[in-house]
Amino acid sequence: MPTAKPATEPRFPLDGVDAVLADLDGVVYTGRNAIPHAVESLNRVAGSRRVGYITNNASRTADAVAQQLSDFGLTVAGDDVVTSPQAAVRLLATVVEPGATILVVGGEGLTTVVEAAGFTVTRSAEESPAAVIQGFAPEVGWKDLAEASFALAEDIPWVATNQDWTIPQERGIAPGNGTLVSAVHTAVGKLPLVAGKPEKAIFDAAVERFGASKPLFIGDRLDTDIAGAVKAGITSAIVLTGIDRAKQILAAPETSRPDYILGDLRELHEEYPATVETQDARGTRTFTVRGARVELRGNNVVAVERGDSTVDLLRAGAAAVWGSGLAIYGLVVDPALYS
C-alpha cells in the first residue's frame, strides 16, 4: 500500500520502478494538444522501462488512442494502451454467459471490444439482452439512455466503463460518462459495476498485461487516478497539468494522497526532495522542502518561506496538512499555499 505522506528521504520517482502507467487526459494531452514536456519525458522512460497508458475514455479503440499518441511523437502500440472498455468486458465476462447478447451504450471504442470478446451487440432492449454495458461517446443521446433504462427494468447486470463526471477538452471541462450513468441510475434506481478508475479492475488489467511487479501510476485527478492507484496498492504521482491543483491536493483525504507531487513530467527524472520535519518547544511543527517552509501552529497551516518553487511549497504544505491528523475543514490554511 502506498504511503499517505510525502517523502521523508530524497529519492527519484523512478527508483525500483519496472513499469510506468500513465493516464492520458491531463497528463499526456489536453484535447488535440500534447502537454509540454510530457512526450520527451515519457519517451525517455521508455528507454529503460515498460510504459503503458491507462484511459477511462471509452469512445475510441486502443489502436486509435495509440495512433494519436504516436502522432504526438510517443513510441507506442495499441497493446500499450489499456482502456476502460477492455476492463469492463473483463468484468462483463464474469456475470454473463459467453456469446450473450449485450445492449451497448457507447461508441466504437466499446462495441469493438465487446464484439472481440465474442458477445453479440444490440442497441435495443427489445432483443432481450443479457446485460447492459455503458461507456462514453459524444454521440450518445437520450434514445440510447432510454434503451438502457428499458433493458434494466429486468434484473440483468449493468457494467459501466467509468464514472468520470468531467472530461478535459481544449475549450474547457465537459460532462463525462458519470453524468450519463447517473441519468440511467435516476431512471432505474440501481447502480452498475464499474471497471474504470478509481476501481481496481483497470489497474489489475494493466499490471497483468505489462507483467509489472513495481509500477508507478501517473495521474492528474485525485478522485479517479490517485484514489484508484491507492485502492490497487500502486505507487502514485500526481502531475499538476490537468484537473486537480494545489487546493485539491492539500484537501485530499487519506484514500487519495499521492506518493509524489510533480509540476510536470520532467520531474520524473529529477531527485525528489526530502521533507524535513522539526518541532520546537512550543509544539510548532515545521515542514521544510528545500527553500520552502510551512509551519503547523495548532490548527493553523502557515507558509513561512515560499522558496524558489511553488511545487516545493505545495509539497511542504501537503506534509503539514496531511501530518496534522485533522480533516481540511478543521484547519486554517494559508491561501499562499494554493493561490
CATH number at residue 223: 3.40.50.1000
235 and 206 in a common domain: yes
**Alpha helices in 22-61, H assignment, sequence order:** 38-46
- Would 291 be classed as within a structural domain? yes
DSSP per-residue letters across 162-174:
---SEEEETTEEE
Rounded-to-integer distance, Cα 168 and Cα 154, Å: 35
114 and 175 in a common domain: yes
Residues of the chain with pLDDT under 50: 1-7
189 and 107 in a common domain: yes
Rounded-to-integer distance, Cα 195 and Cα 224, Å: 12
* End position of a domain, from candidates 214, 240, 269: 269
Count of structural domains, the chain: 3
265 and 246 in a common domain: yes
Which pLDDT does position 1 carry in this prediction? 34
Q: Structural domain of residue 157, as residue ranges?
A: 85-194
Cell of 50: 515498460
186 and 206 in a common domain: no
29 and 95 in a common domain: no
- Would 313 be classed as within a structural domain? yes
In contact, 293 and 277? CB cutoff 8 Å: no
- Would 98 be classed as within a structural domain? yes
* End position of a domain, from candidates 243, 269, 295: 269
Which pLDDT does position 36 carry in this prediction? 97
- Would 64 be classed as within a structural domain? no
91 and 190 in a common domain: yes
Which pLDDT does position 27 carry in this prediction? 97
Which pLDDT does position 273 carry in this prediction? 96
* End position of a domain, from candidates 133, 164, 194: 194
167 and 133 in a common domain: yes
263 and 204 in a common domain: yes
Which pLDDT does position 131 carry in this prediction? 98
280 and 263 in a common domain: no
- Would 4 be classed as within a structural domain? no
Among 253, 252, 249, 264, CA closest to 315 = 249
pLDDT digits (tens, 9 = 90+) for 230-269: 999 999 999 999 999 999 999 999 999 999 999 999 999 9
- Would 183 be classed as within a structural domain? yes
Which pLDDT does position 8 carry in this prediction? 55
- Would 6 be classed as within a structural domain? no
Which pLDDT does position 173 carry in this prediction? 83
Residues 6+ apart with CB under 8 A from 184: 105, 134, 145, 148, 149, 152, 158
206 and 167 in a common domain: no
Q: ∠182-220-84 over CA atoms, to 5°?
A: 50
Active-site residue set: 23, 25
- Would 242 be classed as within a structural domain? yes
Among 32, 87, 86, CA closest to 61 = 86
305 and 327 in a common domain: yes
In contact, 131 and 96? CB cutoff 8 Å: yes
